[in-house]
Structure 1
């Protein structure tokens, strides 16, 4: 059923697959917003670098 079954040309996405994709995207965007808030309030340089890496990784996954 759907794109994950192996034949994505003949079958549309199942509503569960669409829900999973939208849930992942929403969660990723929420995490990026939270990380940016944390970055604005962080004082330690190493912590800022770690948060910036998390933001970059999340944006690449989206």
Structure 2
């Protein structure tokens, strides 16, 4: 198993933005965000997980 590494800054920002939009969509009623809040949160988590496991992403 690979040792975890820090993701690139852009990968971290994309994951963070997706996660924040997913949380906002869960608590606030913004139609497009509310409909896709779980998907956005999942995408943010997956992007951060891939960024820490794959070197150079």
Higher RCO, 1 or 2 (CA under 8 Å, sep at least 6)? 2
Q: TM-score, normalised by structure 1?
A: 0.47
Q: TM-score, normalised by structure 2?
A: 0.50
Largest Rg, 1 or 2? 1
